Amino acid sequence: MITAWAGGLTRHRLGRLLGAVAGIALAVALVAALGSFLTASKATMTQRAVRSVAVDWQVEVQPGADPNAVGALARSTPGTRAALPVGFARTTGFTATVGGSTQTTGPGVALGLPADYRSHFPDELRTLSGSGTGVLLAQQTASNLHAAPGDTIGVRLPGAGLRQVRVDGVVDLPQADSLFQKVGAPAQSQPTAPPDNVVLLPAAHFASLTRGATDVTTQIHVARDAKLPADPAAAFTSVTGAAHNLEARSAGSGLVGNNLGSALDSARQDALYAQILFLFLGVPGAVLAAALTVAVASAGGERRRREQGLLRLRGLRPRQIIALAGLEAALVGVVGGLGGLGLAELTGRLAFGATSFGASAGTLALWYAVAFVLGVLVAAGAVLVPALRDLRTVTVADTRRERRVSRSPWWLRCGLDFALLIGSWLVFHASSGNQYALVLAPEGVPSVSVSYWAFLGPTLLWLGAALMLWRLTLLALAHGRPALAHLAQPLTATLSGTTAAVLSRRRRPFARSVVLLALAVSFAISTAVFNSTYRQQSEVDARLTNGADVTVTEPPGAQIPPSAADALRVSGLRHVEPLQHRYAYVGSDLQDLYGVRPATIAKATSLQDAYFSGGTAHQLMRRLDQRPDNLLVSAETVHDFQLSPGDTVNLRVQDARTKALRTVPFHYAGIVKEFPTAPKDSFFVANAAYVAKATGSDAVGAFLLDTGGTHQKQLADKLRHRLGTGATVTDLSQTRGVVGTSLTSVDLAGLTRIELAFAVLLAAGAGGLVLALGLAERRRTFAIATVLGARSGQLRGMVLTEALLLTAGGLAGGALIGWALSEMLVKVLTGVFDPPPASLSVPGGYLALTAGAAVVAVLAAALNGIRSAGGPAVEELRDL
């Protein structure tokens, strides 16, 4: 009997089975693909954090302790690959006589490096000119002293006097911030910038140079190769525990500066954001695929009840009927699950070039198993559960007459949709208020947490909007029959009233189809808009940090006039814009001061309205141009000093001639939140001409170069070759990799391809598959209409009317829900964006593709229904 039943299902119900299998396959593939991708992304974050650190630990030897003993303890720590002593000596200044001119600098640092230091820590130093060994000068120091390889400089040490050394090379220190950190000090106590003057010496040379000097310390620089867990949070816990273990064993003789832990600390927060992206953007797709499966299964609910009644009349026991229903559920679940796993592998190959998505074999097997089990459970819920319910509640007599439900659903009667929408607004309003943070990562605390209740807002909106659309569709079909008849008349002629009556009678399955299509479209819209906005803001962040396509930053203290821009013009540049950078005191607070040319600054870099408050970017630049003493101030400064528009702000700036601070009056004209090359904390933006007049110098801090968005790296390389070590040249492509958090190691392009491809499939399935199965179940209705005299053109019109109404309702409802979800998602996930977007980025091409796929699927289903309706009526009635 089981074999006969299975054969009958595949022969006579193949379309319905394939539809349910397709829904299961989509759900399984989406969960398997996104789950594997998420786990692989977390592992990538850990690897990236580890690679980003040049020195894993800096163990500072405490006063009176033996450096050799501390070094031995560090080397004995499990997972340590190398532990080398590095000497630090504070200097009171450097001097150099080059070309008959003597240059003198302020305080700095001298470092003593072992001979094999660069082999163990290759990323700490980068040779710019001369030799990579011997006495090395930092780039900034060489610029300040006008020194080059072969020159002799003097190093003044407290307690040891002036010592002469010969320079062998000039180097860059890419991780100077961590190298010169105050080990053990909290973040707020760290120096605001690394020292400008640094000399690096071989260990023996350092020992002789600092003999008799005071203020000399030793650090043990540690490189680790311990195998870390793939998850950044677990890796952070492991590294932090090992560092604490070393401190405990050293009994106070060594203090660990855990650079690797700091990098993993940031990565673990980003890993949670990646997990949130999975929940926000992936889970709705899987739920929608499951709902599509249920809709496909329920499309044949009436037929399944009649078949069950017939089996009961023929004497089958309930246990046997349940076994047959279980067979269908197993067939759908297993075939759909296996198909979904195959689809996931195909997705991985097409989107990432690897079926594993970059995940390990164990992780891949785990997610595939989870996805397969979920698919089987969905199949059981869609096929087996309704059969069990009907077996308990439906009599054989009930199965012989058409089931009619006149009472409204319970959620419609109690207004659940209104309650969900109101609840969504309340949760969103509360979660997006002041001091809101979706991911909480207290500094130094091993655990991070997510404010998961913020998920409630988008979830309630999604559910409430779906139920509201369902309500509106039911109301339109129940009370809008005259309007429906009018709309159907061009296609159905005299059967327009009948068409309206059929639609009104079938309003519940039709409303379900509209809601499914709308949810599929909204999933596509919200996912596409979020991903597009993320890419947009990643580019904005990189541009803000770098300043422009290419930026040439002059060393501090250099007196470079704006006319030097002519020397930077190379083929391919469209505009060069000078930007002043000074420092100014407001009260006792020292802040950055940027002098701009208001009329031309926007030619080199983008200024968004979101960067400012109190006016648009154009308006505020015009204010600086019309009144040169106007000043743009950070919101924090406005709050701290209780400023009102037009107030006088007295800044103390350094006079270039006397080097003394002088008071310069400005007038508060607006708020600046972000500005190219500016720090994230407080700063000022003023008119460059006014700043130059007040300070007696028009020296430029940086030049912003516009390349038209192309050939940035090539042009930057040309300028580096032309300028040498006298200035720092950075390009946008280089800065993208520097400023991005480890969240950018999530291959968002690949993630986008996964989600958007499935969104298109879901939209096509929700639009076409459900309609096709619904039309197939109504072949008897079409056959009776044909017998009663309906012409083929009128039947065609009935089908096309339903298809057009389904498409219009689904696309319109989906667009509205998708827009609302996009706005809420971007706001709730504001921590992902830096800076927050001024407006959403809408990928019009993709959305047009999604809408086109849905329309094509609906039309294909309609045409297939028309073909089926056009068959001989007598044969159709005999088969049915």
Contact criterion met (CB below 8 Å) for 663 and 677: no
Provide mean pLDDT across the span 430-439: 62
Inter-axis angle of helices 507-546 and 496-505, nearest 10: 80
As a whole number of angstroms, the distance between CA 534 and CA 531 comes to 5
pLDDT at 396: 54
Of residues 223 and 800, more confidently modeled: 223
Tokens of 705: 């170069």
Around 815, how many Cα atoms within 13 Å sit in the side-chain half-sphere? 12
Q: What was the pLDDT predicted at 68?
A: 93
Of 440 and 258, which is predicted with more confidence? 258
Strand arrangement of the beta sheet that strand 101-104 belongs to: 101-104, 93-98, 152-157, 161-166
Mean pLDDT across the stretch 459-482? 90
Whether 219 contacts 113, CB under 8 Å: no
In 3D, which of 271, 183, 276 has the Cα closest to residue 228?
271
Higher pLDDT, 434 or 629: 629
Beta strands in 634-748 (DSSP E): 648-654, 661-672, 683-687, 702-706, 728-731
Tell me the C-alpha to C-alpha distance, in Å, between residue 615 and each of 173, 202, 610, 638, 838.
40, 56, 10, 15, 14
Greater confidence (508 vs 648) lies with 648
Tell me which of 18-32, 79-93, 295-309 is least confident.
Answer: 295-309
Q: pLDDT at position 405, please?
A: 54
Amino acid identity of 199?
V
What count of other Cβ atoms lies within 10 Å of the Cβ of residue 659? 7
pLDDT value of residue 43:
78
Average pLDDT over residues 282-298: 76
SS3 assignment for 170-232: EEECCCHHHHCCCCCCCHHHCCCCCCCCEEEEEHHHHHHHCCCCCCEEEEEEEEECCCCCCCH
Instruction: State whether the Cα torsion 500-505-507-513 is positive or negative.
Output: negative
Report the pLDDT averaged over residues 333-362: 76
**What separation in angstroms does the CA of 524 have from each of 520, 533, 833, 836?**
6, 14, 20, 22
3-state SS, 777-833, equals HCHHHHHHHHHCCCCHHHHHHHHHHHHHHHHHHHHHHHHHHHHHHHHHHHHHCHHHC
Report pLDDT for 819: 92
Residue 836 carries which DSSP code? P
Percent over 70 (pLDDT), the chain: 82
Q: Is the pLDDT of residue 218 over 80?
A: yes
Q: 444: pLDDT confidence band, cut at 50, 70 and 90? A: very low
| CB distance 81 to 225 below 8 Å | yes
Residue 259 has pLDDT above 50, yes or no: yes
Q: What integer best gives the mean pLDDT of the chain?
A: 81
Mean pLDDT of 80-101: 90
Q: Which residue has the tokens 């990236």?
A: 48
Least confident stretch, 96-110, 279-293, 429-443:
429-443
The pLDDT of residue 328 is 77
8-state DSSP, 555: P
CA distances from 630 to 398, 616, 789 (A): 83, 15, 83
Beta pairing partners, 683? 592
Q: Which helix (H) or strand (E) holds 594?
A: strand 589-596
φ, ψ for residue 201 (rounded to 5)? -125, 150
418, two tokens = 């209104």
Q: What is the pLDDT of residue 60?
A: 94
**pLDDT for the residue numbered 437:** 60
Check whether 815 has a pLDDT greater than 70: yes
Instruction: Considering only residues 632 and 801, tell me which one the structure prediction assigns the higher pLDDT.
Output: 632
Task: Go through 753-791 and write b for each residue having 16 or more CB atoms within 10 A of its CB, e for each that does not.
Answer: bbbbbbbbbbbbbbbbbbbbbbbbbbbebbbebbeeebe
> Is the model more confident about 803 or about 703?
703
H helices of 394-444, in order, are 396-399, 410-414, 416-431
pLDDT interval class at 136 (50, 70, 90): very high
| pLDDT reported for residue 595 | 94
pTM of the model: 0.73
Mean pLDDT across 351-363:
65
* Tens of pLDDT, residues 526-573: 888 887 887 787 778 788 888 888 999 887 777 888 988 888 888 888
Q: Is 113 helix (H, G, I), strand (E, B) or coil?
A: strand
pLDDT recorded at residue 742: 46
Count Cβ atoms below 10 Å from residue 398 Cβ, excluding itself.
13
What is the per-residue burial (b if ≥16 Cβ within 10 Å, else e) of 53-81? bbbbbbbbbbeebebeebbebbeebeebe
Token pair of 792, please? 């083929």
pLDDT top residue among 607 and 768:
607
10 Å Cβ neighbour count for 232? 31
What is the predicted pLDDT for the residue at 94?
Answer: 93
| H-helix or E-strand spanning residue 496 | helix 496-505
Are the C-beta atoms of residues 818 and 526 closer than 8 Å to each other?
Answer: yes
The model's pLDDT over 358-410, given as tens digits with 9 standing for 90+, comes to 566 777 788 888 888 888 888 888 777 777 776 666 655 555 555 555 567 88
Over residues 475-479, the mean pLDDT reads 89
Cα–Cα distance, 608 to 620 (Å, whole number): 11
Tokens read off for 677: 């090359």
**Cα 192–Cα 198–Cα 200 angle in degrees, nearest 5:** 135
| pLDDT over 90 at 665, yes or no | yes
Whether pLDDT at 690 is above 90: yes
Q: Is the pLDDT reported for residue 586 higher than 80?
A: yes
Residues 142-160, mean pLDDT to the nearest whole number: 88
**What's the mean pLDDT in 212-225?**
91
Does residue 623 surpass a pLDDT of 90?
A: yes
Quick check: 353 pLDDT over 70?
no
pLDDT for res 686: 94
